Chain A
Amino acid sequence: EDKVVQSPLSLVVHEGDTVTLNCSYEVTNFRSLLWYKQEKKAPTFLFMLTSSGIEKKSGRLSSILDKKELFSILNITATQTGDSAVYLCAVPHGSSNTGKLIFGQGTTLQVKP
């Protein structure tokens, strides 16, 4: 059965700290792994990773994929209170060539001033 597991489930840090969020997956016919940030309700797209070892970067956020060990990490450096959100990891369902995604439970990040 395809599944995605994220850790930790929640994290509290102070502004300026660096955090690493983890996502492990099991899926047949792996195509990609996606990270979303969810503030209030609407998840917003962060990264899509398809190749191992290639870091994707956007400002203070970066992510990398390890297809051999079946995991990805999302790093946030110099955290700010605006980074407080739920971070979701997802992979497309193995048997479907669509946006039918399997999501992890999410990591709730709280950044304190």
Chain B
Amino acid sequence: GAGVSQSPSNKVTEKGKDVELRCDPISGHTALYWYRQRLGQGLEFLIYFQGNSAPDKSGLPSDRFSAERTGESVSTLTIQRTQQEDSAVYLCASSFNRETNEKLFFGSGTQLSVL
């Protein structure tokens, strides 16, 4: 696609429910990243995919968070048993190749609100 696409753009859920967030990266981009942005804060790294493998999951805050990627394309970030502190914007980004992996292209994010 023309850009990184994320869905839904907004999600309101009740505490304790599970949520799934989806990311469609730019076609041909091999690297995919999930970041979280709490209100008024910078972005926090969550997880990185190269192809369908996740060599770096160091930013996932707890075992309630998981992510997968299939077909070297779409990725889903799953948060189980959501808590109020999970409320944030979840941003997905992709990049083309290893040599320019720092230059990320971001989606518009999913605003998650946990009531």
The residues of A with any CB-CB pair to B shorter than 8 Å are 4, 31-32, 34, 36, 40-45, 48, 88, 90, 92-93, 96-106
Report yes or no: A41 in contact with B109, Cβ–Cβ below 8 A.
yes
B83-111 interface with A by 8 A CB criterion? 89, 91, 93, 95, 98, 101-109, 111
* B65: interface (CB < 8 Å): no
Knowing A34-B102, A42-B108, A45-B104, say if A100 contacts B56 (CB, 8 Å): yes
* B31: interface (CB < 8 Å): yes
Knowing A41-B108, A43-B91, A100-B56, say if A105 contacts B41 (CB, 8 Å): yes
Report yes or no: B56 in contact with A40, Cβ–Cβ below 8 A.
no
Interface residues on B, range: 20 to 34
Bitwise, B35-70 to A at CB < 8 A (1) or not (0) is: 000001111110010100001100100000000000
Which residues of chain A are within 8 angstroms of B31 by Cβ–Cβ distance?
98-99
Report yes or no: A45 in contact with B103, Cβ–Cβ below 8 A.
yes
Knowing A41-B91, A105-B41, say if A99 contacts B106 (CB, 8 Å): no
Report yes or no: A44 in contact with B106, Cβ–Cβ below 8 A.
yes
Measured in the bound complex, the distance between the Cα atoms of B99 and A97 in whole Å is 9
Minimal beta-carbon separation of A91 from chain B (angstroms)? 9
Which one of B43, B45, B48, B95 lies within 8 Å of A88 (CB-CB)?
Answer: B43
Closest Cβ neighbor of A103 among chain B residues: B42
Which residues of chain B are within 8 angstroms of A92 by Cβ–Cβ distance?
101-102
Minimal beta-carbon separation of B104 from chain A (angstroms)? 5
Minimal beta-carbon separation of A71 from chain B (angstroms)? 17
Report yes or no: A32 in contact with B111, Cβ–Cβ below 8 A.
no
